[in-house]
Every structure is written in structure tokens, then in C-alpha cells.
Amino acid sequence: MKYLFLLLISNCFLQLNAQYQIGHTTITYIDASRSNRSIATEIYYPALTAGNNTTAASGQFPVIVFGHGFVMAWSAYQNIWEHYTSLGYILVFPKTESALTVDHQDFGWDLQYLVTKMQQEGQNASSILFNSIATETALMGHSMGGGSAFLAADSLSANGNVNFKTLIGLAPAESSTNGVSSIASAASVAKPSLVFSGNGDGVTPPIDHHIPMYNGLSSSCKAFVNILGGGHCYFAQTDFFCDFGETATLGGVTITRSQQQQTTYDLLDNWLDYYLRNNCAAKDQFMTDIQSMSGIIGQTTCTENVLPVITENTGALISSVSGISYQWFYEGNPINNSNSISILPTLTGNYIVEVTYTDGCTRLSAIHFYAIVGLEEYTNNYSISPNPTNGIVSIKSNKSGIVHVEIFDVFGKVISTTDTSDKIDMSYLNNGIYFLSIEGIKYRIIKN
């Protein structure tokens, strides 16, 4: 009985942590727009059972189109497809440009072509991937393939491709044949982008390759991960040509291949989970990890989905950031019909705003305490009455002399200014909420 119980517990644990089996198929595409260029492509997909041409798992899965490194076969990236296919991604590897003489632009166009072609594959009723392909697609590549992914991202951005969501470079190399340049193309890429670099890379020194590409990106959200002691080839499996080249450069690699790959996964998993699956918590975790993870130096310009801060302006509470919708709370309870970027508080107490962004993610502000200045309440030696008023408002003070008074509407616009020693006339104003500013102190007043 004890062993049966342990077996049941073990089975439950495996189900809770289940990953997809890996299916595989090979398809050769023909790009008619480039003189019928043949693009042999290896595809790995979530499947019901592992193997070649097995039935795809149910559901629709995001796509990662991956470019290989110089004189490196797609098979060197078994670690990549095994990790991400098992997590529910479709991995697409073109096998073109694998000789000693390569055309970086053509390879970039191959990557670009496959982004669109995979969407067509998912709509083809005779395909093994029919109805299995989600619209969200990432471009990713290593070394030469990383540089070519920048070229592809440039073209996809220019064409307004809606499927291309993010760009990832693993030690991307400057690709500059036929007059193109990955560094130059970066300026045309505005999609969220993530660049990984090893500071021990002697094959594509970061200062000449990865850093200029990252700096050139126009993305409002981009991140750079410098893996301390990391190398060029360690993003992939052991590969004779890559490893020989890295040994010859006498780079400063001090960590193991598995350590470098695990560090990459720890950050990239969350990045992909957010940009290809809209997992809001994953983005928060990425932002935490890139600032605090040991073994890396990370930097990012990402300001998406920042925490809102409540500010005050002439008695109104305002969210510091814009979203597609808002919900305000008073003492933890939602306020009815408070769905704008600002509200006019009517009670003293604690306020919070929840902002919803274009990706559907929501963020809550910290608590903001707001105090209402009421009838006959002295602040800085002044009080106003009556409040509410239907006309004449008296200003009382323990000071003597003339004071400068400004009247604001709820939008912060100055309606009138006056110098007085005792009263102002508001009878000409429409009924509503106004604010009086006396020596910089604002008083909320109701005209009825």
C-alpha cells in the first residue's frame, strides 16, 4: 500500500510538471519571389508522441524561427529545440547558407520568409501542423544567424508584419555581405529585443558586434545580458568548427556550457512567455532577474507596464501613466464610474488606481493618502466659508493685509485671479467643484 501511495504521488507530480513530447518534420519550401530558392527546413513541434511526423499536440503554439551560426548545422542547437519545444513552442530551423561561402542577406530573407510561411502552414489542411500554429512569432539566431535575424527583423518591420513580436540575438555577429549590415539594420527594428553576450567571447567580441547592435536598436523595450565568463559557442551544443575557432581566439571563457545555457534559459523563458504568450507575471520576473541575477550584468530600457504613481493636481488625483482603462479604489473598494486617468476625491482616505495596458496586463499603484480641506478648516492661517457656497466666499485669517487668490476649475485651468483682504465673488460661476489657491495652498470648494 505504501508503494502504491508513493506511485500515485509520483504520477501526480509528473502530471503537474508535464512537458510536451517533441515531434519533428522536414519541409523544403520554395520561395518563388527569389528565383524559386529552395529552403530546406527542420521543424520541431509539441506532439502527442515523440518522433518524426507524429500527431501534433492539441492547441496553438507560438513560433520561434532560428538562424544557425557560420558553418554550424541546425543540429548544434538540439539544446534549444529540446528546451523550448517541450515548453510548447514550435522551433523552425532553415538549413540554408551552411557552406564556407555565405550570403547573409539571403539568410536573413530566408528567416523573414519562414515567419510568413509558418502562418500559411498552420492554415494548410493537409499539413501536420494544421491549426497548431499561433500568430505570435519570434526571430532568434546565434552568431551569423543572430546577425541575419537583425536583417530579417529590419525587413519585417518595414513590411509591417503583425506576427513578428520579438527579436533575440545569441552573440549576434555583424553580417555585412552584399552591402547590408546588421548593426545598421538595428536602427529600423522597433520590436522588443533581447541580446545575450558572453564577456569571454573572442569569436565575435561584444564591443564590435553585440553591443553596437543593441545600442542601435530603436526598440522602446530592449535588454542586454552580459554573461560573466560566458563564451561564443556555449549557447549551442559542442560543435567542432565553432569550438575550434573559440579556442584559437584565446577568449576568457570561465564557466561551463551548461551554466551558460541555464543562465540563458532562466531569462529567455520569461521574456518569451511574456511576448509570445502575454504572461504578465513573466515580464515582472524578467525585470527582477535582469537586475538581480548573479553571474550577469544586465541592462534594459524597458518602460512598458510600469507601476502607476498617484499624483495630485488642484485637488484631482491623477495616474502618472496612461493605459487603455482605469479603476480607482477608496479604502480597498472600487469606486463606481471611476474609469478615467484622474478622479476628484470626495472623502479623506487611502486611494489606489489600477491601470490596464494595451497587452491586457494590469498594474496597481501604491496607496496614496488624500485629505479634504473642509469648511472653516484653517491651513496656513486661512479658512474659507461657506462651503458649499452659492456666491460670496469669506476668507478669514489671523494675518492682515491683501492676499492673492486664484480660482481653478477641475482641469487645473485658471478661471480668474484677484487680490483681496476678506472675500471673493463666485456667483457668476456655474455650479460645480472649484479650487481656490491662497498663497499656494489649494482649497476645494463647491458652488451650488
Claim to verify: residue 47 and residue 191 sit in the same structural domain: yes
Count the alpha carbons within 13 Å of 42 in the hemisphere toward its beta carbon: 17
Which CATH number fits the domain that encloses residue 250?
3.40.50.1820
Can the peptide bond before residue 388 be classed as cis, meaning omega within 30 degrees of 0?
yes
Whether 7 is covered by a domain: the verdict is no
Which CATH number fits the domain that encloses residue 400?
2.60.40.10
Among 7-11, 189-193, 247-251, 368-372, top mean pLDDT goes to 189-193
Q: Which pLDDT value is given to residue 403?
A: 85
pLDDT at residue 2 is higher than 50:
no
Claim to verify: residue 247 and residue 366 sit in the same structural domain: no
Distance CA 341, CA 246 (A): 54
Task: Please state whether beta strands 432-438 and 403-408 pair in parallel, antiparallel, or not at all (unpaired).
Answer: antiparallel
Claim to verify: residue 21 and residue 72 sit in the same structural domain: yes
Name which of 139-153, 254-268, 348-362, 409-423 the model is least confident about: 409-423
Nearest to 333, CA basis, from 318, 352, 320: 352
Comparing 106 with 5, the larger pLDDT belongs to 106
Claim to verify: residue 354 and residue 431 sit in the same structural domain: no
Claim to verify: residue 181 and residue 105 sit in the same structural domain: yes
Single pTM value for the model: 0.77
Q: Which pLDDT value is given to residue 6?
A: 38
pLDDT at residue 275 is higher than 50:
yes
Claim to verify: residue 89 and residue 59 sit in the same structural domain: yes
Whether 440 is covered by a domain: the verdict is yes
Beta carbons of 227 and 263 less than 8 angstroms apart: yes
407 strand-pairing partners: 416, 436
Residues spanned by the domain of 390: 382-447
Claim to verify: residue 108 and residue 218 sit in the same structural domain: yes
Whether 376 is covered by a domain: the verdict is no
pLDDT class of 176 with cuts at 50, 70, 90: confident
Claim to verify: residue 279 and residue 410 sit in the same structural domain: no
Distance CA 105, CA 98 (A): 14
* Location of C-alpha cell 507575471: 281
Claim to verify: residue 167 and residue 50 sit in the same structural domain: yes
Q: Which pLDDT value is given to residue 388?
A: 85
Distance CA 190, CA 184 (A): 13
Claim to verify: residue 290 and residue 350 sit in the same structural domain: no
pLDDT at residue 206 is higher than 70:
yes
Q: Which pLDDT value is given to residue 13?
A: 38
Of all helices (H) and strands (E), which one includes residue 114? helix 104-122
Claim to verify: residue 143 and residue 178 sit in the same structural domain: yes
pLDDT at residue 307 is higher than 80:
yes
The mean pLDDT of 232-248, rounded to a whole number, is 94
Alpha helices in 49-103 (DSSP H): 78-86
Distance CA 364, CA 350 (A): 13
The per-residue pLDDT of the chain, averaged, comes to 90
Whether 310 is covered by a domain: the verdict is no
Where does a domain end: 300, 331, 359? 300
Whether 166 is covered by a domain: the verdict is yes
Where does a domain end: 300, 335, 354? 300
Q: Which pLDDT value is given to residue 411?
A: 60
pLDDT at residue 31 is higher than 80:
yes
| pLDDT tens for each residue of 84-126 | 999 999 999 999 999 999 999 999 999 999 999 999 999 999 9
Count how many residues are written for the chain.
Answer: 448
Claim to verify: residue 257 and residue 357 sit in the same structural domain: no
Where does a domain end: 349, 370, 391? 370
Phi, psi of 73 (to 5 degrees): -80, 160
